[in-house]
């Protein structure tokens, strides 16, 4: 199942020329991933993940920049589950503008770690089930 969220490009996202600062796109990826997880878990993602007794740091982030985005532009950001592992999951993210052009693609891999030991732990059953549910659609 594909999840879609919309985001407007804000003035503060852009350089003086009105084009999105490259680092802001990483923030868009994280925002979209959290919106997707909130949808999958049926509650704010941050609170649900912490309630499982895990910390979910990013292990890897990859972004491919394909088309500039400018101030006041709206983009649709699609998120899907790319991979489910024993200790981690990877989300695939792609944004398109109003003309249907893909503006960026990326992935973010997050790993479940114990707050006490800071070592990887198995994905909580409820998180795995939610991700499998939305993965299958």
Give residue limits of the domains in the chain.
3-136
Q: DSSP label at 12? A: G
> What pLDDT band is residue 137 in, cutting at 50, 70 and 90?
low
Mean confidence (pLDDT) of the chain: 95
Please determine, for residue 1, whether its predicted confidence score (pLDDT) is greater than 70. no
5-48 per-position pLDDT tens digit: 999 999 999 999 999 999 999 999 999 999 999 999 999 999 99
Superfamily of structural domain 3-136: Hotdog Thioesterase (3.10.129.10)
Angle between helices 22-41 and 125-136 (to 10 degrees): 100
Q: Are 87 and 121 in contact (CB under 8 A)?
A: yes
Stretch 52-69: mean pLDDT: 96
d(CA 91, CA 98): 23
Considering Cα of 30, then 45, then 35, then 114, what sign does the dihedral take?
positive
Stretch 61-81: mean pLDDT: 97
């Amino acid at each position: 199942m594909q999840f879609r969220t919309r985001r407007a490009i804000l003035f503060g996202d852009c350089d003086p020329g009105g084009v999105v600062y490259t680092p802001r796109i990483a923030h868009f990826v994280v925002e979209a991933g959290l919106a997707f997880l909130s949808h999958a878990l049926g509650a704010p993602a941050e609170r649900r993940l912490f309630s499982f007794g895990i910390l979910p740091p990013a292990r890897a982030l990859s972004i491919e920049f394909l088309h500039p985005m400018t101030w006041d532009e709206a983009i649709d950001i699609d998120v899907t589950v790319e991979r489910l592992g024993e200790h981690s999951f990877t989300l695939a993210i792609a944004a398109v503008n109003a003309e249907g052009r893909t503006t960026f693609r990326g992935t973010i891999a997050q790993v479940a770690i114990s707050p006490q030991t800071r070592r990887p732990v198995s994905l909580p059953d409820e998180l795995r089930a939610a991700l499998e549910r939305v993965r299958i659609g």
